[in-house]
């Protein structure tokens, strides 16, 4: 199979009229498709349930985006059985045919790019460019993993022995549970699901409750790409019920999870138990939260640092695992940079992201809104409120971009993931103290260092302990194939999505020695 070398999918330029008109048309097309009911998909069968979970538009909570069937234990059992049955033939399907499914799905997504982005504007409150960037990443993941699977299928590195034919190859594991979070429903589900499937595994996908419509559309695209029944099974439902039953199921061979530290830690513990009928130790991948620091020294380009801090902290309302939620600034430029950040944040337009000039949309739901407002209350006691801190008087789950200054490194708002538009700013004596503060957290996902001094940059590279470190740029926006993504410490198992080694999680090595 010959395919062109990988290159990242370009982003849509919304400054051109044609693209703007195209996106507006998609927003109105998708609006007409909102409110449908989506079934579970088990072994190719569509199964409706009496109960449904409603996914709503966080900017207009009365607008239902999709109603989703609710899986319970019996559906989990059926889905694992269907995936087990499908594994027999899918695991023996050629890697070329499996890669072709991903390439076909990527092609379909290119053709429906604006529709998928528009859906996330409604379902998640993503700004146009954020949604478009995510769909581009979905295409990248499919294209990247198709190529990586083909690469891994080539056997080499085995020492020849006279009179024998020896083989070493990678074979799939079995049935996987794919459990994804709501904030990047398309790219994170695609990443785990397509990596599992292209390597010959079959999966049961459990998306987050608040973004199930996006994942239902994604799974339908895979079905259109001639994927055999039972290879991807979709179980929408509650995490504590369907997610937990899936984690506990003895037929599940591996779990790929992206989500919070709290749920990830629970899954890790439960997955370690061997239950009746289970013939393996479950392999577990957990990608969890972050409390990412942006360190700025006195030699840095402060204009650039301001721009990147703002984008990293407030892009998608700060609801990214990679968000730069701590700014650590060397004291000689602290006052200058803080006033620049506050002035820039004042200009951010808050509102319904259906409007392309809006940068800060709603947070995902009422629970998130309440949690973030609680942290803001805490911040008022722990430090100085420099900007925001209020819920604007508008329909939907909106919170103003909020900045706290003079935050101490041990403050809870400096240590705990808030997952909202809240930036904690801290003062460091010098750049080394800044790095010390950056490292003083349980997490280790992303981080940024701004400086013009090559020696300090070298020291930062060696001493900032995060999975994804960026020099003189924001902490968000990893590109697949370019910045393999995954965190250290309590941010997860560092499986590096979009990297050259990622598929190995979904494979086991098999040696076959044959005497002639």
Report the catalytic residues. Answer: 287, 321
Distance CA 457, CA 443 (A): 21
Q: How many Cβ atoms are within 10 Å of 278's Cβ, its own excluded?
A: 15
Window of 33-41, 96-104, 260-268, 404-412 that interacts with ligand NAD by CB under 6 A: 260-268
Q: Cα Rg for the chain, rounded, in angstroms?
A: 23
The β-bridge partners of 500 are: none
247 touching ligand NAD, by CB under 6 A: yes
- Grouping H, G, I as helix, E, B as strand and the rest as coil, residue 346 is helix
Q: Would you give the binding string for ligand NAD spanning residues 152-181, x where CB under 6 A is met?
A: ---------------------------xxx
- The whole-angstrom distance between residue 433's C-alpha and the CA centroid of its chain comes to 31
Considering the complex, what minimum distance in angstroms separates the CB of residue 405 from ligand NAD?
Answer: 24
- Which of 320, 92, 101, 345 lies closest to 224, judged by CA? 101
Looking at the Cβ atoms of 179 and 333, the one nearer to ligand NAD is: 179
46 touching ligand NAD, by CB under 6 A: no
Contact with ligand NAD (CB under 6 A) among 244, 297, 365, 494? 244
263 touching ligand NAD, by CB under 6 A: yes
Considering the complex, what minimum distance in angstroms separates the CB of residue 394 from ligand NAD?
Answer: 23
- Stretch 339-368 residues interacting with ligand NAD (CB under 6 A): none
Q: Which long-range contacts (CB under 8 A, 24 or more apart) does 459-466 make?
A: 459/432, 459/435, 460/295, 460/431, 460/435, 463/435, 463/439, 464/295, 464/435, 464/438, 464/439, 465/439, 465/489, 466/292, 466/491
- Which residue has its beta carbon closest to ligand NAD? 239
Considering the complex, what minimum distance in angstroms separates the CB of residue 117 from ligand NAD?
Answer: 18
388 touching ligand NAD, by CB under 6 A: no
Residue 367, Cβ density class (10 Å: 0-12 exposed, 13-18 middle, ≥19 buried):
exposed
DSSP annotation string for 239-250 = IIIIIHHHHH-T
183 touching ligand NAD, by CB under 6 A: yes
Looking at the Cβ atoms of 54 and 380, the one nearer to ligand NAD is: 54
Considering the complex, what minimum distance in angstroms separates the CB of residue 239 from ligand NAD?
Answer: 2
Q: Where are the beta strands (DSSP E) in 158-224?
A: 164-172, 175-179, 202-206
481 touching ligand NAD, by CB under 6 A: no
Residues near 144 by Cβ (< 8 Å), separated by ≥ 6? 6, 480, 481, 498
321 touching ligand NAD, by CB under 6 A: yes
Window of 21-29, 48-56, 168-176, 256-264 that interacts with ligand NAD by CB under 6 A: 256-264
Residues that bind ligand NAD (CB under 6 A): 179-184, 188, 206-209, 239-240, 243-244, 247, 258-260, 263, 266-267, 287-290, 321, 417, 419, 445, 487, 491-492
């Amino acid at each position: 199979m010959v395919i062109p070398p990988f290159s990242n999918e370009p982003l849509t330029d919304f400054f051109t009229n044609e693209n703007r008109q195209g996106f507006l048309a998609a927003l109105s097309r998708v609006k007409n498709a909102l409110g449908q009911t989506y079934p579970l998909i088990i072994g190719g069968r569509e199964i409706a349930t009496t109960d449904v979970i409603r996914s709503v538009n966080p900017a207009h909570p009365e607008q239902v985006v999709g109603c989703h069937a609710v899986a319970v234990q019996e559906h989990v059992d059926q889905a694992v059985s269907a995936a087990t049955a499908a594994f027999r033939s899918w695991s023996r399907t050629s890697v070329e045919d499996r890669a072709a499914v991903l390439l076909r799905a990527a092609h379909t997504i290119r053709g429906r790019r604006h529709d998928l982005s528009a859906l996330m504007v409604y379902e998640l409150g993503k700004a146009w460019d954020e949604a478009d960037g995510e769909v581009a990443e979905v295409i990248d993941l499919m294209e990247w993993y198709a190529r990586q699977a083909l690469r891994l299928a080539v056997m080499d590195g085995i020492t020849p022995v006279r009179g024998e034919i020896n083989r070493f190859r990678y074979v799939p594991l079995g049935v996987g549970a794919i459990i994804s979070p709501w904030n990047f429903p398309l790219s994170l589900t695609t990443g785990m699901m397509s990596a599992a499937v292209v390597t010959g595994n079959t999966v049961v996908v459990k998306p987050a409750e608040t973004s199930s419509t996006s994942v239902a559309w994604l799974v339908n695209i895979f079905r259109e790409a001639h994927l055999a029944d039972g290879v991807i099974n979709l179980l929408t439902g509650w995490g504590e019920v369907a997610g937990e039953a899936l984690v506990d199921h003895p037929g599940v061979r591996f779990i790929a999870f992206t989500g919070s530290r709290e749920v990830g830690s629970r899954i890790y513990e439960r997955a370690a138990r061997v239950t009746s009928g289970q013939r393996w130790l479950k392999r577990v991948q957990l990608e969890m939260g972050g409390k990412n620091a942006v360190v700025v020294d006195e030699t840095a380009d402060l204009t650039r640092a301001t721009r990147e801090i703002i984008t990293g902290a407030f892009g998608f309302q700060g609801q990214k695992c990679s968000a730069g939620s701590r700014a650590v600034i060397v004291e000689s430029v602290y006052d200058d940079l803080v006033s620049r950040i506050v002035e820039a944040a004042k200009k951010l337009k808050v509102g319904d992201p259906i409007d392309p000039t809006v940068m800060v949309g709603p947070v995902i739901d009422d629970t998130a809104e309440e949690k973030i407002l609680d942290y803001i209350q805490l911040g008022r006691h722990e430090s100085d409120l420099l900007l925001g801190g209020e819920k604007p008087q508008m329909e939907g789950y909106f919170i103003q971009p909020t900045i706290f200054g003079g935050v101490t490194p041990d403050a809870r708002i400096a240590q705990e993931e808030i997952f909202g538009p809240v930036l904690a700013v801290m003062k460091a004596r010098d750049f080394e103290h800044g790095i010390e503060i950056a490292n003083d957290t349980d997490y280790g996902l992303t981080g940024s260092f701004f400086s013009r001094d090559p020696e300090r940059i070298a020291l930062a590279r060696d001493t900032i302990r995060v999975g994804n470190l960026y020099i003189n740029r924001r902490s968000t926006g990893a590109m697949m194939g370019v910045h393999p993504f995954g965190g250290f410490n309590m941010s997860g198992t560092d499986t590096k999505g979009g990297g050259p080694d990622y598929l190995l999680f979904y494979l086991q090595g098999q040696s076959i020695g044959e005497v002639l």
